[in-house]
Amino acid sequence: MTDSSKKESSLVVLQKLKSAGYEAYFAGGSVRDMLLNREPKDYDIATNAKPDDVEKMFKKTVLVGKQFGVVKVIHEGCEVEVTTFRSEGPYVDGRRPSSVSFVSAKEDVSRRDFTVNGLLYDPVKDEVLDFVGGKKDIKDKLIRCIGNPEERFEEDKLRMMRAVRFAVQLDFKIESDTFNAVKKLSGSIIVVSWERIQDEFRKILAYKNRTNGVKLLVECGLLRYILPELLETKGVQQPPEFHPEGDVWTHTLLTLEKLNSYDFDVSLGALLHDIGKPRAFAMRNGKMTYYKHEHIGEEIAESICKRLKLSNDETESVKYIVRNHLRFKDVKNMKVSKLKRFLQEKLFDRLKLAAIADTLASNGNMEFFEFIDDFVKKQSSEELKPNPFITGNDLIGLGLKPGPVFSKILDEVYDKQLEGKVKTREQALSYLKKFIP
Ligand code: ATP
Ligand code: MG
């Protein structure tokens, strides 16, 4: 679905609502993005039509949350979210409203989170309705709560994460009363489900400005509750000959800045790659050491992924990056078979992205990556990852009994194949003879 067809569909739905005599506006992110000359993600509609009316008017609808007044209209394959103007009753547990009631456009806007998200746009009249001072805040690049910031964050604590997220996404500042309210209430973020926190954190790490996002999370106090381990890296010294940039914290942020990937697992892996260093730090013979920090780090990373409720795949990837980020320094000394096996690992490419960022954020010595690129360039993909000449069936055919020894034999023969010492299946079969009693 193209962005223009999304916009077209939303326009058609909006116009139909209007010609039936209802009020209807584009609301929320799309108005903000249009004023910023950015491409909106989607064009949500706010209207005084009730969910039942909306359902009756359109052929294909999905009721998302009747009690919240949200109906999805499917128009020519595009989903358009239509929300009835609503106000929200008192919040329970700082997470969700106890009830909603249907109200005027002006009242609807006042339940929204930030002024920049509180604008309404009438595309027919080409008119922006601004009840909350959103236009000025867009001009001044400010994220400001609608109404009293402390009250708004007390209602829904996730809004604190959202404030940071929008600041990062739009490259705006958080207005000082709003910022101070986050600072004051940051500890209460823990009442929010980790899935929702993860969702906002994931977004923060997906914007260009993400390094500032992490800094902002520290400044407003939220990082202490969602990733306290990262704060332990502050002030952990490193030998200046390897790390001219400074302590582990500085290095970590710089790594994120240098990272050439916006995938969440790679970003989080880069952010956590040295998370084991604070606990591993020890002075030995007058030298700073971080013995086994990659293993300690892997364990810490695992508990962080669990806390953030990451999927198994993403957890595996983050752990792999943390555990293996030091391996590149050995590539020149690896046997060809070992190097090829390393290159064959499923997550190698993701690890390499993080490891390159790690290097660029310290001494900048790229020789190991150049060595690998050079090595790969000189081989065909068949040479890098050949199908094994021999399988377990061959071993059975030779009368060997299946058991743990099988994989040892197969590994050995495959290593010979990777090294080019065994070039054909016949050679592989004759190599096997030494294993037959
Ligand atoms: P994006 O472009 O990233 O989707 P958005 O502004 O559309 O940004 P959404 O999370 O999609 O953000 O929410 C749509 C609108 O609903 C927001 O602009 C805001 O007006 C309102 N909103 C969403 N979540 C909240 C919340 N937790 N509290 C108050 N208002 C909210
Ligand atoms: Mg949106």
Task: Kindly report the protein residue whose alpha carbon is nearest to atom 18 of ligand 1.
Answer: 28
Of 32, 87, 117, the residue with max ligand 1 atoms within 8 A of its CB, to mutate for a pocket test, comes to 117
Tell me what pLDDT residue 393 has: 93
Distance 334 CA to ligand 1 centre (A): 51
- CA–centroid distance, 268 to ligand 2, in Å, is 24
* C-alpha distance from residue 275 to each of 16, 246, 312, 431 (Å): 55, 15, 20, 45
Cα–Cα distances (Å) from 144 to 30, 137, 174, 220, in that order, read: 18, 8, 6, 14
Give 29 Cα–ligand 2 centroid separation in angstroms: 5
Instruction: Work out the average pLDDT over 168-183.
Output: 98
Lowest model confidence (mean pLDDT) among 9-13, 195-199, 403-407, 424-428: 403-407
Q: Report which ligand 1 atom has the smallest distance to the Cα of 159.
A: 27
Rounded to whole angstroms, the maximal C-alpha distance in the chain is: 90
Q: What's the pLDDT score for residue 27?
A: 97
Instruction: Answer whether 28 contacts ligand 1 (Cβ < 6 A).
Output: yes
Does the Cβ of 112 fall within 6 Å of ligand 1? Answer: yes
pLDDT at 185: 98
Between the alpha carbon of residue 22 and those of residues 5, 30, 58, the distances in Å are: 23, 20, 14
Q: For residue 367, is pLDDT > 70?
A: yes
Residues around the ion ligand 2 (C-beta < 5 A): 29
Is residue 156 within 6 Å of ligand 1 at its C-beta? yes
Model confidence at 1: pLDDT above 70? no
Q: Which of 68, 112, 137 to mutate to test the pocket of ligand 1 (most atoms within 8 A of CB)?
A: 112
Distance 305 CA to ligand 1 centre (A): 26
SS3 per residue for 226-239:
HCHHHHCCCCCCCC
CA distance 23 to 47: 5
Q: Is the CB of 113 under 6 A from ligand 1?
A: yes
Torsion sign across C-alpha atoms 155, 158, 160, 163? negative
Closest ligand to C-alpha of residue 113 is 1
Is ligand 1 within 6 A of the CB of residue 41? Answer: yes
pLDDT value of position 74: 96
Q: pLDDT band at 418, cuts 50/70/90?
A: very high
Judged against a pLDDT cut of 70, whether residue 336 lies above it is answered with: yes
Q: Which helix (H) or strand (E) holds 94?
A: none
In this structure, the residue with its CA closest to atom 16 of ligand 1 is 28
Which is the closest atom of ligand 1 to the Cα of 162?
A: 27
CB atoms under 10 Å from CB of 181, counted, come to: 24
Q: Whose CA is nearest to atom 15 of ligand 1?
A: 28
What is the whole-number distance in angstroms between the Cα of residue 44 and the centre of ligand 1? 10
Distance in Å, CA 281 to ligand 2 centroid: 44
The CA 41 to ligand 2 mean position distance, Å, reads 6
Residue 166: closest CA among 147, 189, 138, 131:
138
Specify the ligand 1 atom closest to the Cα of 165: 3
Q: For the segment 67-101, what is each residue's pLDDT rounded down to a tens digit?
A: 788 999 999 999 999 999 998 877 777 777 777 78
Name which of 132, 129, 130 is nearest 145 in CA terms.
Answer: 132
Give the domains, in start order, of the chain with CATH numbers: 1-134 (3.30.460.10), 141-226 (1.10.110.30), 239-376 (no CATH), 392-435 (no CATH)
Among protein residues, the one whose CA lies closest to atom 5 of ligand 1:
29
Given the CA of residue 28, which atom of ligand 1 is nearest to it?
A: 18
Could you identify the atom of ligand 1 that is nearest to the CA of residue 169?
3
Mean pLDDT value across the chain:
95
Please give the distance, rounded to the nearest whole angstrom, from the Cα atom of residue 204 to the centre of ligand 2.
Answer: 15
91-95, 209-213, 332-336, 426-430: least confident range = 91-95
Nearest CA to 114 out of 141, 91, 74 is that of 141
**CB of 117 sitting under 6 A from ligand 1:** yes
